[in-house]
Amino acid sequence: MTKLIIILLSAVFINNYILSRFLGICPFLGVSKKLDSATGMSLAVIFVMLIATAVTWPIQMFLLNPNGLGYLQTIIFILVIAALVQLVEIVLKRYIPALHKSLGVYLPLITTNCAILGVTILNIDEGYTFVEAMVNSLGSGLGFMLAMIMFSGVRSKLEGADIPKSFKGLPITLVAASVTSLSFMGFGGIIENLFA
Amino acid sequence: MTKLQNFTKGIIKENPVLVLVLGTCPTLATSTNVMSALGMGAATTIVLLCSNVVISALRKTIPDKVRIPCFIVLIAGFVTMVQMLVKAFSPALDEALGIYLPLIVVNCIILGRAEMFAQKNSIVDSAIDGLGMGAGFTLTLVMMGTIREVFGNGTWLGFPIPVLSDNNISILTMAPGGFFVFGLLIAVVNKFSQNKPKKREFGCEGCPSADICHGKNCGEVEADD
Amino acid sequence: MIEILTAVVPVVIIGLICAAVLVVASKIMAVKEDERLPEVRECLPGANCGACGFAGCDGYAKALVEKEGTPTNLCIPGADAVSLKLSEILGVEFEDVIEQAAVVHCNGDCNATEDNVDYRGIESCSAAKLIFGGKGTCGYGCLGLGDCMNVCPQNAIYLKDGLAHVCRLECVGCGLCVKTCPNGLISLTPAVEDVAVLCSNKDKGALTRKVCSNGCIGCKKCEKVCPVDAIKVKNNVAEIDYEKCVCCDACTGYCTTGCIVRV
């Protein structure tokens, strides 16, 4: 149990996907302008991360590894994730139109989001069990959400700020992201010691 | 467009990282030092070149409806090849790039070039475009890697630099430094490209009154900022 | 050869399974869409302004296609041209669009109010609003830095004496300014009926009078004089119900502070 909590917390804070692992930067810079779109995007990411892990982990462990096909990981994972996202979109559209309406626009963007492929591959690389892998995916998704939501607040303040011409837009956003990332470095070492 | 222009546009005018802002994740993650930046740049260039050539060759065969899945599978195939090559010939580089090597699949530059260029142009042009874009990507990565390694670690390609190696700003090699250096570089690019007048984003498309005004008021929207 | 096959076969099988699942899913779970929907959606301007009363242009297009009898004249920015196109596609009778125009519900120019602070920040209402709630004494009033003027695609808004005015003849009723104003002072009213309350101060009368000589003090005189019961004082400020208003001008001359006027 303690291990699961450590995995969860370190995925959210220490190895935050955006701010320390640099995965999923594109949506981070693109969709974090407004709070509601940031929330929608992160929910979609959490959702897809969980499903993708639930599908790719068994494929790797029961299909690829026993047959010595570990090298097919990349190609199969991206194939499965792409199909999965499409399937989720169809199912949501049919059965939960309300959810489809709020997450729908973000789903196609997620197929080629490195955070999703990243989390599935990392789960295998770290040698997690199925439960640990799911917890890690949840934590990574939550960390993504935390960074997105926090940053949307930072960006709304940036809009009213007086910024030098060359820094307007993306550059100042990146500098702000740098400071946010710096603050997340403060979490380093805390979580392991919580349970020591 | 001549062949030379086709090649150089990837390096300067349409630099994938600094101007088009594609592929930010590997840019930030693997530019901690020059070596891994070079490795990442080379790996991406190879994949970009192969995928551009093959996609351009198959551009008439692949049905339009399923082109994106086809492109992704093709790209994933090439990435797996590069992955195997790197593992076999340079285990140290494999260690340094880690998760970012398989993640070349989802690098927007590759899919972006396939969509924007390779599926509309001849094989030779696509190959040149792939090389140019790859060169632009590699150059930017090496530039960032140089800044981060020289000032963050006091070395360049592993060779220590006098004075700097004793006074390094180690935060630059960590995550916040990546964002910071990238922000600065884009600001510099903005500074130099600012002389050209830019149109305000509010065009006739999406303008609710486009039907009524027929663009006659838009002469005034050309902003000076 | 066997080695190649062991790699190729799983990829092919997984690919086939994925494709089969997707095909089946898209067949079984297909959501029927009226083929007129994209066509109808295409006609609408796509500003998602919400002036039609539906959730964006998509919502309006859906309602038009699915619910018979939805009026085709609800798109105000699109005006008659869009209404005409819609009625052609849907095969219903063309209805005239009731044009709307924006009005700034504030009359507190620099003669009527005073400045609290000497604001030297960025020339933007939203920025000024963040700092002191605006430079003027009235926290509800026009900030006078022209955010609405900058978004107006028609250049129909101008600033005079630190107060935004809408030229109602040029306004097309797109509602971009309504969304932009950080104090929510701008609203759309029917273009033909042009009586409006030029105040949004929700404080009690005495407080309002202290900060602005043109503000509505909520005296309810207009309520009494209106022959059709169209004016109500809510939250200490008069409000006109344009469904009832007949533009008789009874209130405009009667208002104590002169904040109900023809615009």
DSSP string, B48-96: HHHHHHHHHHTTTTS-GGGHHHHHHHHHHHHHHHHHHHHHHH-HHHHHH
Structure confidence at residue A96 (pLDDT): 79
Out of A79, A95, A159, whose CB is closest to C18?
A: A79
Structure confidence at residue B21 (pLDDT): 80
Nearest chain A CA: its distance from C91 CA (Å): 29
Structure confidence at residue B182 (pLDDT): 92
**Cβ-Cβ contacts under 8 Å, B29 against chain A:** 21-23
Structure confidence at residue A162 (pLDDT): 78
Question: Between B137 and C249, whose confidence is greater?
Answer: B137
**Cβ-Cβ contacts under 8 Å, B207 against chain C:** 45, 47, 153
Structure confidence at residue B194 (pLDDT): 67
Looking up tokens 């109602």 gives C168
**Cβ-Cβ contacts under 8 Å, B217 against chain C:** 153-155
d(CA A156, CA A161): 9
Structure confidence at residue C173 (pLDDT): 80
Structure confidence at residue B223 (pLDDT): 32
Percent of chain B whose pLDDT exceeds 90: 32
Q: Which residues of chain A have pLDDT under 50?
A: none
Instruction: Name the segment(s) of chain C with CATH classification 1.10.15.40.
Output: 36-90
**Cβ-Cβ contacts under 8 Å, C16 against chain B:** none
Please tell me if residue A90 touches chain C, with a CB cutoff of 8 Å.
yes
Measured CA to CA in angstroms, residue C19 lies from B25, B69, C108, C188 at distances of 30, 11, 65, 51
d(CA B173, CA B168): 10
**What are the DSSP E strand ranges found in chain C?**
100-104, 157-160, 163-166, 186-190, 195-197, 231-234, 237-240, 260-262
Looking up tokens 């030379």 gives B4
- According to the per-residue pLDDT averaged within each range, which of A117-126, C87-96, C133-142, C244-253 is highest? A117-126
Q: Tell me the pLDDT band of B40, cut-offs 50, 70 and 90.
A: very high
- Residues of A111-149 as b/e, b for ≥16 C-beta within 10 angstroms? bbbbbbbbbbbbbbeeebeeebbbbbbbbbbbbbbbbbe
d(CA B38, CA C109): 62
Please tell me if residue A74 touches chain C, with a CB cutoff of 8 Å.
no
User: Which segments of chain A does DSSP mark as H helices, in order?
Assistant: 2-9, 25-30, 35-58, 73-95, 97-103, 107-111, 114-125, 130-159, 170-185, 190-194
Among A172, C62, C236, A35, CA closest to B179? A172
- Residues of B139-151 as b/e, b for ≥16 C-beta within 10 angstroms? bbbbbbbbbbbbb
d(CA C149, CA C172): 14
Lowest mean pLDDT among A96-100, B10-14, C102-106: A96-100
d(CA B128, CA A193): 53
CB contact under 8 A, B25 and A117: no
Residue B202 has pLDDT above 60, yes or no: no
CB contact under 8 A, A67 and C25: no
CB contact under 8 A, A93 and C29: yes
Out of C10, C31, C130, whose CB is closest to A69?
A: C10
Those chains having 3 or more beta-carbon pairs within 8 angstroms of chain A are B, C
Out of C6, C25, C130, whose CB is closest to A90?
A: C25
Read off the pLDDT of each residue in B153-159 and give the average, rounded to a whole number: 86
Residue C53 has pLDDT above 80, yes or no: no
The H or E element that residue B151 is part of is helix B123-153
CB contact under 8 A, C155 and B73: no
Among B91, B136, B139, B97, CA closest to B113? B136
CB contact under 8 A, A162 and C122: yes
Query: Radius of gyration (Cα) for chain C, nearest Å?
Result: 26
| Residues C47/C77, Cβ–Cβ less than 8 Å | yes
Residue C135 has pLDDT above 80, yes or no: no
CB contact under 8 A, A168 and B108: no
Read off the pLDDT of each residue in C69-92 and give the average, rounded to a whole number: 78
Q: Tell me the pLDDT band of C95, cut-offs 50, 70 and 90.
A: confident
d(CA C186, CA C178): 5
CB contact under 8 A, A91 and C29: yes
**Cβ-Cβ contacts under 8 Å, A75 against chain B:** 73, 76-77, 79-80
d(CA A32, CA A35): 7
Residue C23 has pLDDT above 60, yes or no: yes
Read off the pLDDT of each residue in C173-193 and give the average, rounded to a whole number: 83
- According to the per-residue pLDDT averaged within each range, which of A30-44, A93-107, B65-79, C116-130 is highest? B65-79
ipTM above 0.90, yes or no: no
d(CA A16, CA A144): 7
Read off the pLDDT of each residue in B36-47 and give the average, rounded to a whole number: 93
Nearest chain C CA: its distance from B54 CA (Å): 19
Structure confidence at residue B203 (pLDDT): 46
Among A33, A45, A105, B209, CA closest to C58? A105
Q: What token pair was written down for A53?
A: 């892990």
Structure confidence at residue B85 (pLDDT): 92
Residue B209 has pLDDT above 60, yes or no: no
**Cβ-Cβ contacts under 8 Å, C25 against chain A:** 87, 90-91
Q: What is the pLDDT of residues C150-162, one digit of tens each?
A: 888 778 898 888 8
Structure confidence at residue C63 (pLDDT): 81
CB contact under 8 A, C25 and A91: yes
Among B111, B115, B10, CA closest to B59? B115
Q: What is the pLDDT of residues A114-148, one digit of tens each?
A: 889 999 999 999 899 999 999 999 999 999 999 99
Out of A72, A112, A179, whose CB is closest to B111?
A: A112
Residue C237, beta-bridge partner list: C234
Measured CA to CA in angstroms, residue A159 lies from A180, B97, B109 at distances of 17, 36, 29
Read off the pLDDT of each residue in B97-124 and give the average, rounded to a whole number: 87
Please tell me if residue A86 touches chain C, with a CB cutoff of 8 Å.
yes
Q: Tell me the pLDDT band of C133, cut-offs 50, 70 and 90.
A: confident
> Closest chain C residue to B212 measured between Cα atoms?
C78
Please tell me if residue B176 touches chain A, with a CB cutoff of 8 Å.
yes
CB contact under 8 A, A122 and B99: yes
Hey, which CATH number is domain C100-262, 3.30.470.10, 3.40.50.2300, 3.30.70.20, 3.30.365.10? 3.30.70.20
Out of A71, A73, A174, whose CB is closest to B179?
A: A174
Nearest chain A CA: its distance from C27 CA (Å): 10
**Cβ-Cβ contacts under 8 Å, C19 against chain A:** 83
CB contact under 8 A, A59 and C26: no
**Cβ-Cβ contacts under 8 Å, B187 against chain A:** 166-167, 171
CB contact under 8 A, A63 and C31: no
Q: What is the pLDDT of residues C163-175, one digit of tens each?
A: 899 888 888 787 8
Structure confidence at residue B201 (pLDDT): 40
Read off the pLDDT of each residue in C221-237 and give the average, rounded to a whole number: 86
| Residues C169/C149, Cβ–Cβ less than 8 Å | no
Question: Between B223 and A45, whose confidence is greater?
Answer: A45
| Residues C214/C198, Cβ–Cβ less than 8 Å | yes
Read off the pLDDT of each residue in C5-26 and give the average, rounded to a whole number: 87
Q: What token pair was written down for A191?
A: 């979580």
Question: Between B111 and C116, whose confidence is greater?
Answer: B111
- Domain C36-90 falls under CATH 3.40.1160.10: no
Q: Tell me the pLDDT band of C193, cut-offs 50, 70 and 90.
A: low
CA atoms within 13 A on the CB side of B56: 22
CB contact under 8 A, B187 and A166: yes
Structure confidence at residue B78 (pLDDT): 93
